[in-house]
Amino acid sequence: MGVTRRDFLRASTVSVLTAGAASKSPVWGANDRISACVIGFNGQGGSHIREILQMADVDIVALCDVDSRVLERGVQTVTTAKGKAPKAYRDVREVMADKAIDVITTATPNHWHALITVWGCQAGKDVYVEKPMAHSGFESRQCVNAARKYNRVVQHGTQARCSARMIRDMALIHEGFIGKIVHSRGVVYKNGNRNAIGHGAPGPVPENLDWTLWQGPAKDKPFLINKDRQKPGLYVHYDWHWFWEYGNGEIGNQGVHEMDVACWAHNRGTPVKVSSTGGRYGWNDDAETPNTQATQFTYADGSMMTFEVRNLGSFYEGGEDAGASTNSAFGETGYWVRNRGFFDYKNKPMVVERQPAPGMSKFDYFFRAVRSRKPEDQVIPVEAAHIACLHCQIGNVAYRVGHTLVFDPATERFVNSDEANALVKRDYRQGFEVPDLTS
């Protein structure tokens, strides 16, 4: 007998979800269809719906969002495209109890990412989770643990790893094409579409929004209306990025894409030291995260990686085509710049004879891995996702405490800093705890 909605919501989350994971992973045939649910789709999740609707062997059988208006729009989109309405859920726990759902994709605010990922794994579902995979270092480690413990596919939304050219270039870097890498660099400027967000004041929650479920694992706080903008809320639906309770600032927003590439190129794993400085300059608003941030990571072999966030000023000092977000890696005999190629230290382009292999879209890679169950088919390994997210998270911790920190890669804790370690894991709302799956 299946788990009913009433039974599920009465039972403890862990016991129900763990029981759901006891079934064996399905063996997919070429003609078998995969049933998917998209969770949280007012922003990036909308692209999940559009892309999956184009796939011939995947059905969107359910949608979930805490905003009834967003949910209704999503249901209408799928119904119009396929002629059949998907199930509509507001509470993600009901999604986990639905055994007809094989995979979930999620683009909720950051503070929900890890719990949905872990719950999904425990419920026997494979997970595509938008970046960053988690809100803290503790949480991204639990995503890795859940994927391994429950034998689930977890793919992270840092889709640069799906690029055929990037895959080719990283293979060359790792093979020593420009010598041993001694320094990697990532930059995120985003100065064209970031501005002050205004000021908030307690106000009524819109009828279409379940504010309690929106907060989920976070502390219970009053809903804030935006006094300076024609928007219903200060946090909802995007500016939560700039508050520590829900987001990770720019370094964990657009930044995690470039951080993942920087970590991929540097190929050193976890750092042993981190420092970060900056501030929120020029804007008079209530946001907490920096709009200017410079972070340095040092590794056990003495090499370093630097990462810069800047929402103010210009990025054209690097040339008209420099781009607002990019990466570079510096080896002993040459250097690499994303989308430009390889150069020697006289700035002469290096000839690359190897052609990129054909690439695929992020969801093509994801569903290929779901079907095959082969680790080598996972283009974004969950451990790599954790490393990229961890860099963003410990960089923010160093920024918040205001001094250089020593980090222990073995324990993933800071050495001799209770203040910093207090920011590794949050205090969860009862019933929405991210479980510790370390043992």
pLDDT in tens, 297-348: 999 999 999 999 998 876 655 554 555 688 999 999 999 999 899 999 999 9
pLDDT > 90 in the chain, percent: 84
335-362: average pLDDT: 94
**Would you state the pLDDT for residue 31?**
64
Q: Which amino acid is at 120?
A: G
73-80: average pLDDT: 98
* pLDDT single digits (tens) 94-111: 999 999 999 999 999 999
3-state SS assignment for residue 304:
strand
Residue 10's φ and ψ, nearest 5 degrees, are: -80, -35
- Whether residue 429 is contained in a domain is answered as no
**Would you state the pLDDT for residue 194?**
87
86-95, 257-266, 354-363: least confident range:
354-363
Is-contact 19 331, C-beta < 8 A?
Answer: no
188-217: average pLDDT: 92
Asked whether residue 117 falls in the same domain as residue 20, the answer is yes
Is-contact 68 35, C-beta < 8 A?
Answer: no
Is-contact 115 217, C-beta < 8 A?
Answer: yes
**Would you state the pLDDT for residue 193?**
76
* pLDDT single digits (tens) 12-56: 455 445 445 444 567 666 568 999 999 999 988 899 999 999 999
**Would you state the pLDDT for residue 3?**
41
Asked whether residue 95 falls in the same domain as residue 149, the answer is yes
Q: What is the CATH number of the domain that holds 144?
A: 3.40.50.720
- Whether residue 241 is contained in a domain is answered as no
Q: Which amino acid is at 294?
A: A
- Whether residue 431 is contained in a domain is answered as no
Instruction: Give one DSSP letter per residue of 146-194, joined into a string.
Output: HHHHTT--EEES-GGGG-HHHHHHHHHHHTTTT-SEEEEEEEE--TTS-
> Cα angle vertex 279, ends 278, 284, to 5°?
160
State which residues form the domain around 400: 162-193+249-363+388-421
277-297: average pLDDT: 96
Asked whether residue 172 falls in the same domain as residue 137, the answer is no
16-20, 133-137, 432-436: least confident range:
16-20
Asked whether residue 147 falls in the same domain as residue 169, the answer is no
Asked whether residue 352 falls in the same domain as residue 415, the answer is yes
243-252, 289-298, 322-331: least confident range:
322-331
- Whether residue 198 is contained in a domain is answered as no
200-206 long-range Cβ contacts below 8 angstroms, 24+ apart? 200/224, 200/225, 200/226, 200/227, 200/233, 200/234, 200/235, 200/286, 201/225, 201/227, 206/232, 206/233
Asked whether residue 168 falls in the same domain as residue 115, the answer is no
- Whether residue 291 is contained in a domain is answered as yes
Q: What is the mean pLDDT of the chain?
A: 92
**Would you state the pLDDT for residue 400?**
98
113-135: average pLDDT: 98
**Would you state the pLDDT for residue 359?**
84
Q: How far is residue 309's CA from residue 251's CA, in Å, rounded to a whole number?
A: 6
359-373: average pLDDT: 96
Q: In this model, does residue 265 exceed pLDDT 50?
A: yes
Q: What is the CATH number of the domain that holds 406?
A: 3.30.360.10
pTM given for the model: 0.93
Is-contact 195 414, C-beta < 8 A?
Answer: no
Asked whether residue 173 falls in the same domain as residue 136, the answer is no
**Would you state the pLDDT for residue 13?**
52
Return left, alpha or beta for 132; rule: phi > 0 is left, psi -120 to 50 is alpha, else beta: beta
pLDDT > 70 in the chain, percent: 90
Asked whether residue 122 falls in the same domain as residue 167, the answer is no
**Would you state the pLDDT for residue 232?**
76
CA distance between the termini of the chain: 31
- Whether residue 220 is contained in a domain is answered as no
Asked whether residue 41 falls in the same domain as residue 186, the answer is no
Q: In this model, does residue 11 exceed pLDDT 90?
A: no
How many structural domains are present in the chain?
Answer: 2
* pLDDT single digits (tens) 142-161: 999 999 999 999 999 999 99
Asked whether residue 67 falls in the same domain as residue 77, the answer is yes
- Whether residue 30 is contained in a domain is answered as yes
**Would you state the pLDDT for residue 8?**
44
Confidence of residue 296 (pLDDT cuts 50, 70, 90): very high
* pLDDT single digits (tens) 378-420: 999 999 999 999 999 999 999 999 999 999 999 999 999 999 9
- Whether residue 342 is contained in a domain is answered as yes
Asked whether residue 294 falls in the same domain as residue 180, the answer is yes
Asked whether residue 92 falls in the same domain as residue 176, the answer is no
